[in-house]
Structure formats: structure tokens, C-alpha cells
Amino acid sequence: MTPTAQDVSAPGEAAPPSDRPANPPRAFSVFSAAELQTALKKMYLIRRFEEAAEDAYQRGLTYGTMHLSIGQEASAVGACLPLGPSDYITSTHRGHGHCIAKGADPARMFAEFSGKETGYCHGRGGSMHIADVENGNLGANGIVAGGIPIAVGAALAIKKRGLPNVALCFFGDGAANEGAFHEALNIASIWKLPVIFVCENNKYAMSTSIERALSVKNVADRAVAYSMPGVIVDGNSLTDMADAVMAAIERARAGLGPTLIESKTYRIRGHSRSDRNRYRTKEEIESWVARDPIDRFEVELIAHGLATAAECLAIREAAEAEIAAAVKFSNDSPLPDAADILRGVHTPAEAKP
Amino acid sequence: MTAPLSATTGALPIEPGASRELSFAEALREAMGQALEADDRVFLMGEDIAIYGGAFQVTLGLLERFGHDRVMDTPISELGSAGVAVGAALAGMRPILEFQFQDFATLAMEQIVNQAAKIRYMFGGKCSVPVVFRAPTGSGTGGAAQHSQSLEAWYAHVPGLKVVQPSNPHDAKGLLLAALDDPDPVMFFEHKLLYKMKGPVPEAPYRVPIGKAAVVRQGTQVTIVASAIMVSRSLEAAAILAEKGIDVEVIDLRTLRPLDTETIIASVKKTTRLMCVYEGAKTLGIGAEIAAMIAESEAFDYLDAPILRLGGAEVPIPYSPVLEKAAVPQVADIAAAAERLANKRV
Ligand SMILES: Cc1ncc(C[n+]2csc(CCOP(=O)(O)OP(=O)(O)O)c2C)c(N)n1
């Protein structure tokens, strides 16, 4: 087979919801209304979590940096919707959304973000390193592309152990220019590993646009070089993401190896807290604000009779309350004890596997 | 933060116009601007150094002055970019490559360690690799384990590399211009907490020699050897101890390789006590080398107390501020350790 990137829907001109095809997305027949409503709730949890993080920053309460994923919620939740707790993900510096999508507790996440002892990493990791290993999240990563080969390794372990699971790795468009990306895709391909590469192309790596950094038009075009399908998805459509990942999971489970999915999306906020947005226009940002992935999913759910407007509102309010409680939990939590600094460097002898 | 006073930098001649103050970042920017103006072979490469001005804004405004041909944004490709810099240096250019954080230079270790450092020697001295690798280092900004490291000693372990680590704006400019003059590869490490430090910087180009330490405070009882942010912290500690009647000498290494052994030996012979303060993990850090060097030298016989190393804790840098602070020597830690040392006898 000679896979090429298929332009499923040109993301720059993503169709407004009213123009969507009448036949329902596959996700709507695979997942129950309750599961889909949980997905909506996760999108709201992500949005609120990021807003709470931003708010804490603006009030001078945060330490370190943070990378917000507002605008990319569909990509995270859609990709994780077909995954179970025994499937793995690896994430990035922009990882709050992936973490919530994979099932993490926002309270322990916010505590980690705030450097508290009750956080997922006991305050050792912070925003860029939140890991929820019990739920299959092998961690956010401060190193661009650092998680890509790790996901391939998790997939190798899945294969060696004869498990039915997959590993899915998130990374940005910028990461596709690291050697680790190319080496990892090649290894995954020759060994036919059950791994799904999800490139969240939000048009910029920090200030560097894809036009200035990428030798190809689409990251998915690179799949050809590694003999795997390269699929372009409208990353602001939760169902498009879920459908693409379901197909990739089937391929992986059939022993056919990896898939590269390019989720075309947009980061609404700056790269990190120090960004002055000198590299893009206000108009461009506003045009993407108008394609809000949460609104789109809500409209879709309502149109297909999977939720009512009232239910959506209740879901949103529940998410808001949950994040408010998460912030409170974090605020009430203790800081780590400095005397405890050495804990965690090595595995204690009695805990060795 | 208080800059070391120019008067305490002893050895340095203070040029006219030295009363002008620049920040550490501005001093570096001025050095690069002057080098770009003076030498067509000089160009800058790095991630987000052009439009964005660099993660720490060190190259801000240089794109506007010199254009994309000479201030080049690279893709996120540290290994490739380092190799491109090495190749360009071999073929007649004078590249400066900025790593966004020192932590990411680890992705380029191959080109730095296997190629840049060795090419001249392996090729029988037939060519040189005049490249400068700049990188922000150190903790104190909440960057956590992968954005806070102090791995200077790794590079200082590699024959063929020079390793520079300025502690103030004056030296930042002078050492960067010296690094650019140098025909061989130079690792140039900039502590993040120093970028905003202000200090006198002469406008005209000048060089601070690579391989020469500075005695930044004269003292008689204890020698503290430090570099980068640990110099200002040691000076603060020395000021605290002075009030207690303990007279500390502070040496700013400025260059980790080649090490200015002469200055350290002379100081230890005078004070008879040595303490090495550094941010990287204590074990196998730069202080280990200095301690061993003194143990092998004529200064050993002069020691009145065991050499003391005050290095970073043996942990990846933690995120939470309470832990992060505890992971590296702070002023109070330095003062307490130096006081202990001053009162100790062999
Ligand atoms: C190896 C490495 N190089 C550089 C960086 C600095 N950095 C952090 S995020 C980033 C941009 C990443 O862009 P992309 O992969 O597209 O992800 P996005 O931020 O757009 O989500 C850069 C340059 C890093 N963290 N790691």
C-alpha cells in the first residue's frame, strides 16, 4: 500500500456545523449518550482548568511557566475517547488537556500545577510533568518530541506482552522536526507496533509558523516516508478525531502497525505565559475563536438528539463546580517539606519490581 | 539583585564610559550586535531567536537590524542545528547557536562532543571549528527538572571544548566577544537569574580573556570559588560574614575549561581554606575537579581545614519553590558553610 495524506477536511476552512454531512459520525453509534456527555464534560473541565490556571497566573499565584490548550479540547478528548485505562498515552508540555481527557482528577492536577504535596507528582513535576500513570498517562514532557519514542516503547511492551492495547502519543507540529520523531516513526513502522502518532498541528511552534519550519505542507505527508497511513483530521471536531483514532486502533490491533494522525487545530492563548503574540494577527486568533470546538460538539450532540441544551448547560455548570473545588483543594493543600527533597530519586529496594 | 561592583572586579581595567549600566541580557545583545556589524562571517541561529527575540529576549531587536539571513530561526532540531553550525564553522563562517535552554543542548551532544570538540585534533590540526554555543542555564524560575539543569561540568570534561560562564553584565559582553574571536568551539552558559542583573558595561567592544578567573573580593581567611549566579550569592554571603569578622575571598571562575588553576592556588595559599560553591549536582561537579586540583598542588600543604564542596542536591531540580530552593546553594547556606569552614582545623 502507498499511503498518502488524505485531506479529510481542509482545516483552514473547517465547515461550520450546519454544513456537516447528515450521516452521523461513527463515534455516535459506538459510544452511548452518557459516554458522549462525559466527553463534553471533559472538554469543559479542560477549558475551565486552563482558565483557572490563567487566573492564578494573572493574580501572581503561580510559579514557573504554563502552556494552555484552550481551543484544542476536541483534539485531546476526541483522541482519548476510544482509549481505555490500559491504553497508554504520552503527552507534551501542553498537556493539561490530554491528562484530563485520559481521566485524571483535576484536583490533583491543580495541586501539582501549584507545587503542592497532594499533586500527582508531589510537587516535584509541576505543570509540564503531570503524570497519571495509573490511568495510562505516561506523562507530560518538557522536552519537545521526548514522548514520541517513549510511546513507541510502550507499544513494544504491549506487543511483547501480548496485550490488546495501544499507545497513543500526542505531540505538536514543532516536534515533527526533531530527530526523535523520525527515528520513532521508522522503528514503529518496521516493527509494526500498536502506536498512534497524534500530531496536534496548531500552526505554530512557539513563534515559528509551520510555513517557516516544515518542509512539507502537512505533517501527515511525512507518513509516506515511514509506510504508514497519514490522516488529516479537523482537530476542532471531537467526532472526527475519535473516528480517526478508532480506525487507527483497529489497524494497530490487526497487527498492521502505526498510524500518523494530524489534528489541525489552533492554540488560542500565547505559547506560554511570556508570549507577546508578535508572530500572528488578532484577526487570525479571532477567526479560530469562532470555531470553538466545545460549541461545535454541543451543537452536534443536540442535533443528533444525544443531549439537550439544558443537559449541556448542566454539564458545563458541573464542570465549573468541579474545577472550583479542584482549586480549593489545591489552595488548602500543604507545600512539600523541604527536608523531604531526596525522596523519589531512586526506587526503594523493597519496591523494586 | 546586586551586581558585583566594578571596583571589586580587581583585575579588570575599567574603560571610559564604564559607568553606563546594562542588564546582562542587554550586554550579550550588544556583543552580538557589534560582532554582526564587525564581521560578515558571524550569524545567529536558534529557536525563536528572530521574531520572538529568544525565550529570554536576549536577541530581541537583532532581526530588525540584521535581517533573517543573519538572525535565523531554526526548526526545533537541536542536533541538526548544532551540526549545521559546526559545518558552517568548518567552511568559513562564525556561527552562534542559541539553545533555548541548556537542557536541550543534550539533544545535540553528538555534534558538540563527538564532532565540534574533536574535529581539529582528529584531523591533525588541519582545521578549526569556530562556533559558539550559547545556552541559558540553572534553576530558580520554576522550570522544573527539564528546564533548570546545570550541566556545565559535563562539557568541561571534554577536551577540545572551552566552557565559559559569566557572572555579571561586564563579563558577559567581554567573554562573548572573546568566545567569538576564539578559533575553537566555546560553550557559553548564561544563568537565567542573571539576565536582569544590571552592571557597568563599556560601549566599545572589549574582550575578557577566556581561561582567566577574577578575584572579585579580597579576603584572608576562606577562599570561595564560584561561577555564574553563585558569585553574587557568595559575595552576599561574604558581606554577611564580614560583619562577623570572617574575611572571605571570592574567586569568579568565569571559565570552567580551561581552568585558571594559578589564581585558585595562589588564593588558597593565602587563605588556607577552600570552599567550592556550584549549582550542579555536588557529585562529580566542577567543585570536585577544583578540590582534586588543589589536593595535587603545592597549595595542599597550606590547607588548615579539609576542602569543602557546596554543590546542588543529588536530585533532578524539583518544581515546587520550597524544594527548588532547597536543591541549590542559597546565600544563607553559603554563609553557614563558610563560617563552619573558617572555624575548622585539620
Ligand atoms: C527539545 C526541546 N527544544 C525546545 C524546547 C522549547 N520549546 C518548548 S515548546 C516549544 C514549541 C513546541 O511547538 P509544538 O511542538 O508545535 O507544540 P505546541 O507548543 O504548539 O503545542 C519549544 C520550542 C523544548 N521544550 N524542548
Per-residue model confidence (pLDDT) at position A62: 87
Q: What is the pLDDT of residue A11?
A: 44
Q: Is B3 domain-assigned?
A: no
The answer to whether position B238 is within a domain reads: yes
State pLDDT tens for residues B221-259: 999 999 999 999 999 999 999 999 999 999 999 999 999
How does pLDDT run across B32-57, given as a tens digit for each residue? 999 999 999 999 999 999 999 999 99
Judged by a CB distance cut-off of 8 A, whether residue A335 touches chain B is yes
Tell me the CATH number at B283: 3.40.50.920
Instruction: Indicate if the pLDDT at residue B99 is higher than 70.
Output: yes
Residue type, B215: V
Final residue of a structural domain among B200, B224, B251 = B200
Please answer yes or no on whether A175 and B77 come within 8 Å at the CB atom.
no
Chain B contact present for A213, CB below 8 A: yes
CB B287 within 8 A of CB A313: no
Q: How many whole angstroms separate alpha carbon B91 and alpha carbon B78?
A: 20
Instruction: Give the whole-angstrom CA distance, residue B36 versus residue B193.
Output: 26
Query: What does the pLDDT read at residue A23?
Result: 82
**What does the pLDDT read at residue A136?**
97
Q: Are residues B313 and B260 in the same domain?
A: yes
Q: In terms of residue numbers, what domain contains B224?
A: 214-342
Tell me whether 0.85 is exceeded by the ipTM.
Answer: yes
Q: Tally the domains of chain B.
A: 2
Asked whether A270 lines ligand 1 (CB < 6 A), one says: no
Of A94, A129, A84, A90, whose CA–CA distance to A109 is shortest? A129
pLDDT at position A352, please?
66
Please choose, from the candidates B76, B75, B50, the residue with its C-alpha nearest in 3D space to the C-alpha of residue B61. Answer: B50
Residue nearest to atom 19 of ligand 1 (CA): A205
Q: Is residue B4 part of a domain?
A: no
CB contacts, 8 Å: B325 with chain A? 338
Residue B15 included in any domain: no
B200 or A9: whose pLDDT is higher? B200
Angle among Cα B143, B148, B154 to the nearest 5 degrees reads 165
**What are the backbone dihedrals phi and psi of residue B304, each rounded to the nearest 5 degrees, phi first?**
-105, 0
Give the CATH H-level superfamily of domain A27-332: Thiamin diphosphate (ThDP)-binding fold, Pyr/PP domains (3.40.50.970)
Q: Which amino acid is at B277?
A: V
Nearest Cα residue in chain A from B325: A338
Is the Cα dihedral B46, B48, B50, B53 positive or negative? negative
Question: Same domain, yes or no, for B285 and B144?
Answer: no
CB contact A129 to B (< 8 Å) = yes
A129 in Cβ contact with A142 (< 8 Å): yes
pLDDT of res. A63: 86
Q: Which residues are B199's β-sheet partners?
A: B22
Q: Tell me if B47 CB under 6 Å of ligand 1.
A: yes
* Whether B126 and B223 share a structural domain: no
The set of catalytic residues of B is: 78, 147
Q: Do B170 and B84 fall into the same domain? A: yes
Give the C-alpha separation, A168 to A302, whole Å: 29
Cell 504554563 belongs to residue: A66
Please check whether residues B91 and B193 belong to one and the same domain: yes
User: Does any ligand 1 atom lie closer than 6 A to the CB of residue A93?
Assistant: yes
Does the CB atom of residue A175 touch ligand 1 within 6 A?
yes
B345: pLDDT confidence band, cut at 50, 70 and 90? confident
Shared domain for B184 and B301, answered yes or no, is: no
Q: In this structure, is residue B207 part of a structural domain?
A: no
Q: Based on the fold, state whether residues B235 and B140 are members of the same structural domain.
A: no
Best CA proximity match to A177, nearest among A232, A224, A222, A234: A222
Final residue of a domain: which of B140, B166, B200? Answer: B200
Residues B191 and B289 in one domain: no
Smallest CA–CA distance from B46 into chain A, residue = A208
Top-confidence residue, B128 or A61: B128
> Would you call A171 helix, strand, or coil by DSSP?
strand
Residue B110, domain member (yes or no): yes
Count of residues for chain A?
Answer: 353
Residue B70 has pLDDT above 70, yes or no: yes
pLDDT-derived band at B19, boundaries 50, 70, 90: confident
CB contact under 8 A, B103 and A142: yes
* Domain finish residue from B200, B225, B259: B200
- Same domain flag for B270 and B189: no
Closest residue in chain B to residue A112, using alpha carbons only: B320
pLDDT in tens, chain A (353 residues): 334 444 444 444 444 455 444 689 999 999 999 999 999 999 999 999 999 999 999 998 888 889 999 999 999 999 999 999 999 999 999 999 999 999 999 999 999 999 999 999 999 999 999 999 999 999 999 999 999 999 999 999 999 999 999 999 999 999 999 999 999 999 999 999 999 999 999 999 999 999 999 999 999 999 999 999 999 999 999 999 999 999 999 999 999 999 999 999 999 999 998 788 899 999 999 999 999 999 999 999 999 999 999 999 999 999 999 999 999 999 999 999 999 999 999 998 887 66
- Is A124 in contact with B145 (Cβ distance < 8 A)? yes
> What would the pLDDT profile of B149-160 be if each residue is shown by its tens digit?
999 999 999 999
pLDDT at B2 over 50: no
User: What are the sequence ranges of the domains in chain A?
Assistant: 27-332
Residue B10 in this model has a pLDDT that exceeds 50: no
Range 107-166 of B in CB contact (< 8 A) with A: 107, 141-147
Chain B contact for A116, CB < 8 A?
yes
Contacts of A207 in chain B (CB under 8 A): 48, 50-52, 73
Residues B76, A145 contacting (CB under 8 angstroms)? yes
B152 and B226 in a single domain? The answer is no
Based on the fold, state whether residues B269 and B193 are members of the same structural domain: no
Statement to judge: residues B220 and B317 lie in one domain: yes
Nearest residue (by CA) to ligand 1, atom 5, is A144
Task: Tell me if A105 sits within 8 A of A74, measured CB to CB.
Answer: no
Q: Is B146 helix (H, G, I), strand (E, B) or coil?
A: coil
CA–CA distances in Å: residue A20 to residues A15, A24, A240: 7, 9, 11
The verdict on the CB of residue A206 being under 6 Å from ligand 1 is: yes
**CATH number of the domain that B154 lies in?**
3.40.50.970
